[in-house]
Amino acid sequence: MTTQPQKVIPAEYIPDVGSFIEKIEGKDYLITNDAMYTFYRRTKGEFSSFFLALRDEKRLFGCKCTKCGLVRVPPFLTHCPDCNFAPTEPVEVGQVGVMNTTPPITYFATSLFQHMAPYGRGRVIFKGADTALSVNLYTTTGILVPGIIKKGTEVKLIFKENRIGEMTDVFCVPTAELTEGQIQKKGLQESEINWEAPVEPVLPAPSQEDISVYNDALNEIKSIISEMNTNERARKDVIGWKRDILVKTRGGRFAIIIDDGDIRLEEKELSSPDFVMVSDDPNVLLDGLAYRGAITDSVIGKKLWISKNMEFNTIFKLDRMARSVARSKKG
Ligand SMILES: [Zn+2]
């Protein structure tokens, strides 16, 4: 956890002072980095108490019409338009709800939301509420793929550790992934959930043929990874990134080590990898690394499973490396 205050604009987005040449139709043009910026403060106004309750008390509030009794969550108005603008009053609602729709999943987010992807975004009707709240959705079972959270799935509101009074302070996971105690607990925090118990796909025992398919694929993967390691563009894609990945396929297992610009394959079992990749067929990974289709697509299409949702970012980087090598060959 960071103790340094976070900046509104992360340092990596701020360009260096300097200039460079861009060649257009054979001519040199000088380009200089410059800046124009505006910061602003937003107020939550009369809805401040809703956000303060999320931030400080881990409670979810709605507003109840004093006339018709309709409970709106979130409390987006102070007077009921259906009852000649009768005032509403704050009312606390439950932290378990039901999906109102099947949520779409965002895998490729803009830079602003990339650290959160993949995430589902859907509408939940919490116990005691009459309207649906739009929240982010996650799973603790590995990568979030279609089918885990659907219309009608019961979900639980989870509070992040560091809350600033925004809707992104909370998210939901399916109650089926929690214990009864966790489901009952009000103000359940992210750190109280076991994120380390993903349901890994079981691979069948390999035949002789599976092992020979594996050995062929492994040789090709090895040569691609050593090519990535000597490719400047590809190395740049994993600067500052460190991951020990255990790859399991039907025919055998190996490790991919990403270490701040370096990438290498090691034929060994890792005892505590950062995450696990499972694919019945090693050629699924091979095709991705060889730039014959994206690994991210294989993850979304459930041909390749990863043990940690947030490691989709690492998969994304592997795809980038494959593309970098392909581009270098072209250029
Ligand atoms: Zn009303």
Which domains does the chain show, CATH number per domain? 45-192 (no CATH), 208-330 (3.30.1050.10)
At residue 310, the pLDDT reads 83
At residue 1, the pLDDT reads 47
Length of the chain: 331
Distance in Å, CA 74 to ligand 1 centroid: 15
Average confidence (pLDDT) over 193-219: 90
DSSP-derived letter for residue 56 is: I
- The model's pLDDT over 250-303, given as tens digits with 9 standing for 90+, comes to 999 999 999 999 999 999 999 999 999 999 999 999 999 999 999 999 999 999
Per the model's pLDDT, the better-predicted residue between 116 and 61 turns out to be 61
> Is the model's pLDDT at 176 over the cut of 90?
yes
DSSP 3-state assignment of 130? Answer: coil
> Is the model's pLDDT at 240 over the cut of 70?
yes
> Is the model's pLDDT at 6 over the cut of 90?
no
Round the average pLDDT of the chain to a whole number and report it.
93
Torsions phi, psi of 324, nearest 5? -60, -45
List the structure tokens of 188. 């359940």
| Predicted confidence band of residue 331 (pLDDT cuts 50, 70, 90) | low
pTM, two decimals, is: 0.76
Average confidence (pLDDT) over 18-42: 91
> Is the model's pLDDT at 2 over the cut of 60?
no
Distance in Å, CA 66 to ligand 1 centroid: 7
Distance in Å, CA 136 to ligand 1 centroid: 28
Average confidence (pLDDT) over 53-82: 96
How would you classify the pairing of strands 154-159 and 133-137?
A: unpaired
Strands (E), 9-141: 19-24, 27-32, 61-65, 71-72, 79-80, 86-92, 96-99, 105-106, 119-126, 133-137
Percent of the chain with pLDDT over 90: 79
Q: Do 132 and 126 contact (CB within 8 A), yes or no?
A: no
At residue 3, the pLDDT reads 63
At residue 196, the pLDDT reads 67
Distance in Å, CA 75 to ligand 1 centroid: 13
How far apart (Å, rounded) are the C-alpha atoms in residues 244 and 258? 6
Distance in Å, CA 50 to ligand 1 centroid: 19
Distance in Å, CA 61 to ligand 1 centroid: 17
User: Which pairs with CB-CB distance under 8 Å and at least 24 residues apart come from 70-77?
Assistant: 70/130, 70/131, 71/128, 71/129, 71/130, 71/131, 72/129, 72/130, 72/131, 73/125, 73/126, 73/129, 73/130, 73/131, 73/132, 73/133, 74/47, 74/50, 74/133, 74/167, 75/47, 75/50, 76/47
> Is the model's pLDDT at 115 over the cut of 80?
no
Distance in Å, CA 130 to ligand 1 centroid: 12
Distance in Å, CA 295 to ligand 1 centroid: 51
Average confidence (pLDDT) over 75-88: 95
